[in-house]
Amino acid sequence: MDKIKLALVGCGNVGQVIHLPILRKMPDVEVVAVVDPDERKAKAVALRFGIPQTFKSIDALLASPIGSEIQAVDICTPTDQHKNAAIAALQSGKDILVEKPIARTYKEAKEIADAAKKYGGKLMVGMNNRFRPDTMILKSFIENGELGKIFYIKSGWLKQQSSAAAWQQQKEKAGGGVFLDLGIVMLDMALWLLNYPEVSTISATSYHQYTKKVEDSCAVFLRLANNVTLTIESSWTFHREGDFFYCNVFGDKGSAFINPLRVYKSVAGNLVNLTPAKSDSQVALFKKSYENELRHFVNVVKGIVPLSSSGEESVARMQVVEGFYQSAAKKKEIVLKKK
C-alpha cells in the first residue's frame, strides 16, 4: 500500500485551513474526495486543492465507485455529525481519524469505539497537542525520571472563540462548551504525559458569562491515581491579550513548563536548567503538531506504527467529561465510577 487514498469529510475551518494543506503535501497520500452538505463549499475546496470528486454526504461517497477504493476517512465535521460519519466509514471497512472531541457524549463515543472493534477499523481521535515537539520532549523527561514522581499538573487554555465556529455555542451540535473544545485537550495531554492514570474524583465549576446553553469558562480540579492532582482552566471569554496555553508539571525532583518549554531539576541542592537549547516558535509548534499527527495517522493506516489516541482512550476521556458536567451541575465534588 504505497499511496493511501483518503476522503475528507467536513469542509470547515479545520478541514480547509489545517488538514488539507498538510495532506496534499504528503507524497504517499492521495485525497480523492471531499464531503460537505454545502455543495458550493465542497466544490470550491475541491477546486482549490485539486481534489477530483465531491459528495454531499458520506453515504453518497461510500456508495460511489471511489468509495470502494479509499482506505481512510478524515472526519472534520461539527461534533454532532461525528457518530454517523464514523460508524458509516467503519462499517465500510475504512480506517478513520476523527477530530476532537470524538463525540458529544460518552454514549456516542462508546458507540463509535464499539463499531471500530466490531468492524476491525483503526480509530484515531485528533489530539494534536500530543504531537507538539515540546510536549513530546516533556514526556521523554517524565518517562526518563528526570522530574522524579509527578504529584501536580496545572494546565489551561484561554482562547478567544473563532467566529467561524459559532456552532460550538449550540449544545445540540457541540454537546458542551469550552471544556469540550479546549479543556478536553488539556485533560488528554495531562493523562497522556502520565501514561493514563485513572481519575478518582472531579470538582468542577462552569461559567456562562456570555453564553446561555454552554459554558464559556470553567475550572476543574481532578484527583488521579497515585496521589496526583490536576487542575485545568479553559475559557473563550477571559479578558486578556492573546491566547494562553500552558501546562506546568511538578515532580519531587524537578519541574517543567510548556509554552515556552522549560525544564528544571534539583541536583545536589541546586536547580539545574535542562531546557533544550533550540526552541520553535508557537506558530511552528502548532503547525508541526498537526503535521506529526496526520503523518502518524497515515502511518497507522499503512501498518507502520501502533495507534495513538485510540477510541478506547477517547471513551475514557468522555467519561471524565461526563463527570465534569455532573460536578458543575451539582456544584460539588463527585467520585468517578469506572464503567
pLDDT per residue as tens digits for the range 146-187: 999 999 999 999 998 766 578 888 999 999 999 999 999 999
Q: Which of 62-71, 201-210, 273-282 has the lowest mean pLDDT?
A: 273-282
**pLDDT tens, position by position, 109-126:** 999 999 999 999 999 999
For the chain, what percentages of helix, strand and coil (3-state, to nearest 5) are there?
Answer: 40, 25, 30
Q: Which residues contact 130 (CB under 8 A, 6 or more apart)?
A: 136, 188, 189, 192, 293, 308, 309
Pairing of strands 29-35, 53-55: parallel
| pLDDT for the residue 164 | 58
The predicted structure's pLDDT at residue 338: 82
| 123-126, strands of its sheet edge to edge | 53-55, 29-35, 4-9, 72-75, 95-99, 123-126
Q: Supply the pLDDT for residue 163.
A: 60
| Averaged pLDDT, 28-34 | 98
The CATH number of the structural domain formed by 130-281+316-335 is 3.30.360.10
Q: Are 300 and 124 in contact (CB under 8 A)?
A: yes
CA gap 106, 319 in Å, rounded: 6
What pLDDT was estimated at residue 222? 98
- Mean pLDDT on 55-68: 98
What is the reported pLDDT for 1?
54
pLDDT reported for residue 339: 80
CA–CA separation, 297 and 305 (whole Å)? 9
Q: Where do the domains of the chain lie?
A: 4-126, 130-281+316-335
Per-residue pLDDT at 281: 86
- For the beta carbon of residue 89, count every other beta carbon within 10 angstroms: 29
**pLDDT value, residue 318:** 97
Please, what is the Cα angle at 109 between 308 and 227, to 5 degrees? 65
4-126 CATH pick, 2.60.120.560, 3.40.50.11260, 3.40.190.10, 3.40.50.720: 3.40.50.720
H-run or E-run covering 254: strand 254-258
Q: pTM, whole model, 2 decimals?
A: 0.95
Q: How confident is the model at residue 101 (pLDDT cuts 50, 70, 90)?
A: very high
